[in-house]
């Protein structure tokens, strides 16, 4: 299993609160409403920061982290090439995320504790 981690940056015209509310209350439910996309996903988690609590000092760079688990890289590629993702989900991402500033990483988890 692989995990796609996306460090999300909000649109500059949005406050942290506006971003968080939109991502949680609009985008999340929209993603869940597109079965052609979600059938490829094992798990989808939004990580919203606890503002003012960044022990490593890098918390002002990103506004949240999206985590999406897939069986493999091919399943991830299939998900993001789905026509309904491109038609519905992708345009919504452009409403709240500054995509050129977002950073993503495809990972395999190695549990330590």
pLDDT surpasses 90 at 58: no
Distances (CA, A) of 80 to 30, 31, 41, 88, 105: 15, 12, 10, 11, 15
Task: Give the architecture (CATH level 2) of 2-107.
Answer: 2-Layer Sandwich (3.30)
Q: Could you read off the pLDDT of 72-109 as tens digits, one per residue?
A: 999 999 999 999 999 999 999 999 999 999 999 999 98
Residue-averaged pLDDT of the chain:
93
The residue extents of the domains of the chain are 2-107
Q: Could you read off the pLDDT of 69-80 as tens digits, one per residue?
A: 999 999 999 999
Query: Quick one: pLDDT at residue 50?
Result: 82
């Amino acid at each position: 299993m692989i995990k796609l981690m996306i460090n999300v940056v909000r649109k500059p015209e949005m406050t942290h609160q506006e971003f968080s509310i939109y991502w949680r209350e609009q985008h999340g439910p929209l993603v869940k409403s597109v079965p052609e996309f979600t059938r490829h996903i094992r798990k989808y988690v939004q990580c919203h920061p606890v503002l003012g609590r960044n022990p490593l000092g890098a918390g002002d760079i990103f506004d949240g982290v999206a985590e999406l688990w897939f069986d493999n890289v091919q399943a991830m590629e299939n998900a993001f090439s789905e026509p309904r993702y491109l038609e519905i989900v992708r345009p919504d991402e452009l409403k709240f995320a500054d995509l050129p500033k977002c950073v993503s990483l495809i990972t395999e988890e190695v549990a330590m504790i």
